[in-house]
Amino acid sequence: MKSILFIGMDVHKNSYNLCCYDKESGDISREVKCAADAKLVQKYINDIKTEVNPETEFKCGYEAGCLGFSLYKSLHNLGIDCDILAPTTMQSSPKNKVTKNDKRDAKNIAINLANKTYKAVHIPDDEDIRVKEYIRMTNAFKKELKKIKQQILAYVLRFGFNYEGKSKWTIKHISWLRNLEMDTLEKEILFEYLAQYDLLTEKIERFTARIDELYHTERYEEPVSKLRCFKGIDTLSAMTIQVETSDFNRFPNAKAYASYTGLTCGEQSSGDKRNVTSITKQGNSRIRTTLIECATAIAKGTQYSPKSKKLKSRQKEQAADVIAYADRASKRLKKRYDDLMGRGVPHNKAIVAVARELSCFIWGMETGNIN
C-alpha cells in the first residue's frame, strides 16, 4: 500500500502557510511560510520527495475563501492533487477556538485531509464560473439599489415628507419625489440621490437583459426553463440556482441537496434527549438566500389563486409532466405554509420550511425525478 502525505495550506492573498502531515506516524513536519505562488508549493513538495519513498503520494488542501478556484487550477496544471475544503464541514479541535493562527489552521486542514472529515467543494467548469460571477455582480448592484432606495425614503421623511400612494418606486412615486417643495440645497441632495438611483436602475436593467441572453444559450435554456415553471422562480433566480449548483446529479437524493443549501435543521442530542436546532446554514449561502426569496413569493396569495400571466408565459411550450410537477409543488408548498401559520409557527420559520421543501422539488425537476 502506497503511503500518502497530506499538505495543509492556509492560504492568503500574499502568503501561504504549509505543513506536512503523516497520518501513519501522526507527525506534523516542515511547517513553512512562503509567497503566494503555486510553483513554490510544487518546490515544497519536491523537496520532501527527496527525503521519502519515491512512491509516496501527496494530497494538498486549502479552505474555500478569497482565492476561489485559481490556486486549485494552478496546482492541478502542475500535476498536484488538491481539494478545496468547505469550512463549515471541517472538524476542529477546541484548542483552535482558544488559540487561532495560520500555522494551527494549516495543521487542522492537513488533519482533516488525512481523516477525510470534510466535504470537498465542487469545482465547476469555466463557463459556470464566468456566469456565476456575472450574476453575483448583478446581485451586488441590486443590494446597492435597495440601499439607495432606503436612503432616499429616510432622507425625505426627515423633512416631513411621507408618500401616501399605494406603491413606491412607480412612475407616480418618482414624480412625487422630484416635485417636492424643498430648499435649494435640500433639493440638490435629493437629486443626487435620485441620480444614483437612476444610474443603478439602468445598470441592473442592462445586466438583467444580458442574463436573459445567457439563459437562452444551449447550455442553460433547458434546465433553467424547467426551473422557471415553478411559481416564484424568475429567470435571475433560476440562473442563480443553476450555476451555483452546477451539477444536480452529484447529489444522490433530494435530502442531500437540501442539506447542501443549509436549510436542514441541526441537532444537539444526548442520551434519551433529542434537541433539534435551527438550520445549519452549511453549504451555499447564495442558493439558500434565493430559495428563501422564492418561498416568500410562493407564500403570497391563496391556494386557489389562478396562475399569473407571467407564470403561464414561463410554462409555455414546456412538457405537460414538467408543468404538472411544478403546479403540484406550488400547491403543496402554499398549503405547507398555510398549515404552519395556522399552527402558530412564526412567519420566518414557515418560509424556511417552504424553502427547504422547494429545494427538494427543484432537485427532482433537474434530475428527472418528477413522478
Q: What is the DSSP string of 11-80?
A: E-SSEEEEEEEETTTTEEEEEEEEES-HHHHHHHHHHHHTTS-TT-EEEEEEESSTTTTHHHHHHHHTT-
Listed residues 115, 141, 164: the one ending a domain: 115
Based on the fold, state whether residues 97 and 180 are members of the same structural domain: no
Which residue from 344, 121, 311 is spatially nearest to 230, judged by alpha carbons? 311
Lowest mean pLDDT among 103-107, 242-246, 274-278: 274-278
Q: Is residue 223 one of the residues assigned to a domain? A: no
Based on the fold, state whether residues 108 and 130 are members of the same structural domain: no
Q: Is the pLDDT of residue 202 over 60?
A: yes
CATH no. for residue 18?
Answer: 3.30.420.40
Based on the fold, state whether residues 137 and 108 are members of the same structural domain: no
| 36 neighbors 29 (Cβ within 8 angstroms) | no
The two most distant CA atoms of the chain are separated, in Å, by: 83
Based on the fold, state whether residues 55 and 156 are members of the same structural domain: no
Q: Is residue 23 one of the residues assigned to a domain? A: yes
Q: Is residue 231 one of the residues assigned to a domain? A: no
- State the average pLDDT over residues 51-78: 92
Q: Is residue 21 one of the residues assigned to a domain? A: yes
Which is higher by pLDDT, 280 or 52?
Answer: 52
* Termini Cα distance of the chain: 46
Q: Is residue 20 one of the residues assigned to a domain? A: yes
Based on the fold, state whether residues 102 and 131 are members of the same structural domain: no
% of the chain exceeding 70 in pLDDT: 95
C-alpha grid cell, residue 166? 399605494
The CA distance from 119 to 204, in Å, is 35
The CA distance from 84 to 69, in Å, is 8
Which tens digits make up the pLDDT trace of 254-310?
999 999 999 987 766 666 666 666 777 878 899 999 999 999 999 987 776 788 899
Instruction: List the Cα angle 26/30/36 in 5-degree steps.
Output: 125
Lowest mean pLDDT among 96-100, 232-236, 321-325: 96-100
In this prediction, residue 265 carries a pLDDT of 78
In this prediction, residue 350 carries a pLDDT of 94
Q: Is the pLDDT of residue 331 over 90?
A: yes
Number of domains the chain contains: 3
Based on the fold, state whether residues 139 and 204 are members of the same structural domain: yes
Based on the fold, state whether residues 293 and 356 are members of the same structural domain: yes
- State the average pLDDT over residues 248-259: 94
In this prediction, residue 305 carries a pLDDT of 74
3-state secondary structure of 311: helix
Based on the fold, state whether residues 335 and 358 are members of the same structural domain: yes
Which tens digits make up the pLDDT trace of 170-194?
999 999 999 999 999 999 999 999 9
Based on the fold, state whether residues 208 and 255 are members of the same structural domain: no
% of the chain exceeding 90 in pLDDT: 80
Which tens digits make up the pLDDT trace of 123-171?
999 999 999 999 999 999 999 999 999 999 999 999 999 999 989 999 9
Mean residue pLDDT of the chain comes to: 92
Q: Is residue 19 one of the residues assigned to a domain? A: yes
Q: Is the pLDDT of residue 201 over 80?
A: yes
In this prediction, residue 54 carries a pLDDT of 83
In this prediction, residue 264 carries a pLDDT of 86
Q: Is the pLDDT of residue 96 over 70?
A: no
Listed residues 53, 87, 115: the one ending a domain: 115
Listed residues 91, 115, 139: the one ending a domain: 115
Q: Is residue 91 one of the residues assigned to a domain? A: yes
**Domain range holding 38?**
4-115
Based on the fold, state whether residues 267 and 298 are members of the same structural domain: yes
Q: Is the pLDDT of residue 354 over 60?
A: yes
Q: Is residue 293 one of the residues assigned to a domain? A: yes
Decide: residue 26, CB within 10 A, 0-12 exposed, 13-18 middle, 19+ buried: exposed
Q: Is the pLDDT of residue 1 over 60?
A: no
Lowest mean pLDDT among 125-134, 206-215, 273-282, 340-349: 273-282
Based on the fold, state whether residues 267 and 316 are members of the same structural domain: yes
In this prediction, residue 91 carries a pLDDT of 87
Based on the fold, state whether residues 266 and 345 are members of the same structural domain: yes
The CA distance from 16 to 12, in Å, is 6
The CA distance from 22 to 28, in Å, is 7
